[in-house]
Amino acid sequence: MSTSFSLHPITEDDIPALAEIDRLSFANDRHTLLKAAHPTRPYDHAAGTPEMIKYRLSLPTTRVEMTKAVDDQTGDILGYGGWGKRLDLHPQSSSTTTEETKTENGEDESSKPPPQVVAQDYVKTESPHLDALEQLEEMTSAHLADYQGRIMPPGTRAMYLVGLSVHPDHQGRGVGRALIKHGTDRADAERVFCWVHSSDDAAPMYRKCGFEVNDTLEIDLDHWASQLDIKPPIGDEKWGTYTFRYMIREPQPVERR
C-alpha cells in the first residue's frame, strides 16, 4: 500500500465509489445501525449518497466544495469530504436556504418549523403518525436545524463540514485530517470559524484538528429501540448512548511563508 495521496474535486463519475465508502465507513455507527434495524423500513445509509452528492455538485463551489482523497499509486478513492462555505455574505442577507439546511435526506430544513422541545423524550405532536425511529429522525434533524440557526444567523461568515468518510481499509493514514485541513486552511485565510455536527466516533479526530465541543445531543438509543422492540446487535446487551457533538474551530493565524 502506498502512503501518498492527493486531494481532487469530486465528479459525478465518483459517486458509486463514494456511496460504497459511506456504506462501509458507517457500518459500525450505532445510530446508523439502529435506523437500519427498523422492522419494516430499514434505513440504508448509502442509498441517499448519490442524490446528496449530485445536489452538492450542482451548487457553485463558492458555496460547497466536494473533495476526494486519491491514492497516488493505485488511483483508488480513499475518502471524501464536503465543505460548506458562507464567505461572501452581506450583513443584511436574510437567506437561510443554504446547503447546510439540507439534511442527510436532502430535505430543506429551513421550511420546517423550529422545534418546540429538544429532549430525549421529544414527541412531535404535529405528526402523531410517526413511529419511534421517525420521531428520532425528526428530533435529531430539528436539533441540527436549531443549532445551525443559532450558530449561523443570517449574515454570519463561516465554514462547515457537510460530510466526511474514509474507507475503513485506509483509516489512520491521515486522510481525514487532510480533508479537514483542506477546509480549515481556507477558513484561517478567510478568518472565519468552522463547525461540524460530529458523529459519536469522529469527535476525537476533530479535537485533534482543533475543534472543541460547543453543544451536544445525547440519545439513549435503547429508549427509542424499545418502542419498536428492536433488539441490540447480536452479542450486545444494550444499544447504549449515542452522542452527537457540535464542534467549533476558531480561526487560527496564518503563518507567514
Ligand X SMILES: CC(C)(COP(=O)(O)OP(=O)(O)OC[C@H]1O[C@@H](n2cnc3c(N)ncnc32)[C@H](O)[C@@H]1OP(=O)(O)O)[C@@H](O)C(=O)NCCC(=O)NCCS
Positions touching ligand X (CB under 6 A) are: 25-26, 164-166, 171-177, 196, 198-199, 201-202, 204-205, 208
Residue closer to ligand X, measured from CB, 124 or 177: 177
Q: Least separation, in Å, of the C-beta of 163 and ligand X?
A: 7
Phi and psi angles of residue 129, each rounded to the nearest 5 degrees, phi first: -80, -10
Min dist. Cβ of residue 81 to ligand X (A): 8
Q: What is residue 119's DSSP assignment?
A: S
- To ligand X, the closest distance from the beta carbon of 176 in angstroms equals 3
Q: Which of 64/175 has CB closer to ligand X? A: 175
Judged by beta carbon, residue 177 or residue 182, the one nearer ligand X is: 177
What is the number of other CB atoms lying within 10 angstroms of the CB of residue 83?
Answer: 26
Report helix, strand or coil for 159: strand
* Shortest distance in whole angstroms from residue 27 CB to ligand X: 9
CA–CA distance, 30 with 69 (Å, rounded to integer): 26
DSSP state of 233: P
Nearest distance from residue 179's CB to ligand X, in Å? 8
- For residue 161, give the nearest of 242, 90, 104, 91 by alpha carbon: 104
Give the distance, in angstroms, between the CA of residue 4 and the centroid of all CA atoms in the same chain.
Answer: 26
In the complex, what is the shortest distance from the CB of residue 88 to ligand X, in angstroms, rounded to a whole number?
25
Residue closest to ligand X (Cβ):
176
Q: Which residues pair with 71 in a beta bridge?
A: 5
| Nearer to ligand X among residue 115 and residue 174 (C-beta) | 174
Select 66 or 124, whichever has its Cβ closest to ligand X.
Answer: 66
- How many CB atoms lie under 10 A from the CB of residue 106? 12
In sequence order, what DSSP letters do the residues of 96-116 get, joined into one string? Answer: --SGGGB-TT--BGGGSPPPS
Instruction: For residue 17, report the phi and psi dihedrals to the nearest 5 degrees.
Output: -65, -40
Nearer to ligand X, 25 or 140 (CB): 25
